Amino acid sequence: METATALAKIQAFYEKRWRMPTVREVMSLIRTRSMKQTTALIEGLVESGAIERDKNGKLLPSHLFGSIRKLGLVEAGFPSPAEEELLDTLTLDEWLIRRREATYMLEIKGESMINAGIRPGDTALVERGREPKHGDIVIAEVDGKWTMKYYHVESRGRIALVPANPKFPTIYPQEELHIEAIVTAIIRKY
């Protein structure tokens, strides 16, 4: 089987299951019983940068997986002539994630941040281990309960968790406050 065809089958497997195939699954994908042939194919794909391996030998998608073409700009104001120009390709991971090992996703429930454009059903991409700054949107454990709010440092250094909806009260920690993560992106699927 051609390398390009094998790579296309591995990419299709990844897009369907959101994980890379095992070596045995690669054997099945390329319809061979030869471990030697499969290993050679995988090593060739690793050397070309099409896929990667972790320190345990597990297959990983490279930056080429899921890359999307980035074309020009679109006017969100008054209409203007469209100019389609390929500027680059990138994956959403490259664009949205700075530290993969510290990043995770949470589904939004509730309407306390709705005026910040964060709606129920949206997905928040959050990063652990960052020091919060005034104005950040944070995931916090406050007095034993979890919430997402703006992190505000008031004039005397008092910390407030401020909602983006006037129907909800500002929260002032009474006993404990732990900032778990900073929101780095909100994802909404239409």
48 tagged catalytic = no
Side-chain-side CA neighbours of residue 32 (13 Å): 15
Phi then psi for 55, rounded to 5 degrees? -65, -15
Active site residue: 58, 112, 133, 189, which one? Answer: 112
Please check whether residue 150 is in contact with residue 140, taking contact to mean a CB–CB distance below 8 angstroms.
no
Active site residue: 149, 155, 167, 189, which one? Answer: 149
Side-chain-side CA neighbours of residue 182 (13 Å): 14
Dist. CA 50–CA 64, nearest whole Å: 6
80 tagged catalytic = no
Q: What angle do CA 50, 53, 59 make, to 5 degrees?
A: 80
**Active-site residue set:** 112, 149
